[in-house]
Amino acid sequence: MDSPYVNIHLENAIATIEFFHPAQNSLPGDLLSKLAETITEAGENKDVKVIILKSGGDRTFCAGASFNELIAINDAETGKVFFSGFANVINAMRKCPKFIIGRIQGKTVGGGVGLASATDFCMATKFAAIKLSELNVGIGPFVVGPAVERKLGLSGFSQIAIDANSFYEAEWARQKGLYNQVFDSVEELDEAVQKFAENLCNYNPEPMKEMKKVFWSGTEDWDTLLIERAKISGQLVLSEFTKEMLKKFG
């Protein structure tokens, strides 16, 4: 399992979307584009009643942005396009008419916290600590911020955004509202996710679609807001501070 991918598997009205990258499931631009496209297509598929979002491997759920691509950004427009990748995935999840269940098996960082926050019901293992590390490299969690704040509240979001060196345990994320349930093992998590998805398939799709609109009410401006945030990150990534920090981390 060395090659990056985004796969979708459809069985009994459950679409399981899985992404993978050998660098701790970090997400370069091409994978972000494919992920947004796959989520949109699953949402439009009449044979799909519920979506499960997961990553490959049994350790890190998502390490956020690809450091190699961040280091290679040399102009503001390229930076905006790269960070728009996360914006497009979050917006695809937001506008998808099907409930999306997050399956978070391990640590998640930066943009990965944004993906988890954009799911409609999120289940994790006790190993799924979260960190917003963006300030460490001189950027900031601008694009994922609205999604994270929507789940954690402004207090929780500002806490992990400012304390950019620290991982916050899965139980903290559950208490704050990001995770709905936390399990002791990946096996227990997978069993619970499957059972929960199967149960949702017994519901009438129409009220689920309408409830999703209700849950995401007030986010209608995100199509423009998140792109504006991507522009900010795209400019900040060009700073000498960020360039030097990326070299250290890379």
Domains along the sequence of the chain with CATH: 5-186 (3.90.226.10)
SS3 250: coil
Tens of pLDDT, residues 50-94: 999 999 998 999 999 998 898 899 999 999 999 999 999 999 999
The Cα diameter of the chain in Å comes to 54
Strands (E), 96-245: 99-104, 108-109, 121-125, 130-131, 181-183
Query: What would the two tokens of residue 228 be?
Result: 């504006």
Average pLDDT over the chain reads 96
Tens of pLDDT, residues 7-61: 999 999 999 999 999 999 999 999 999 999 999 999 999 999 999 999 999 899 9
Query: What would the two tokens of residue 196 be?
Result: 């929960």
65 close to 111: Cβ distance less than 8 angstroms: yes
Is the per-residue pLDDT at 250 higher than 80? no
42 close to 48: Cβ distance less than 8 angstroms: yes
- Cβ neighbours around 149 below 10 Å, total: 17
pLDDT of residue 1: 59
- With a threshold of 0.95, does the pTM exceed it? yes
Tens of pLDDT, residues 90-136: 999 999 999 999 999 999 999 999 999 999 999 999 999 999 999 98
Amino acid type, 200:
L
pLDDT of residue 233: 94
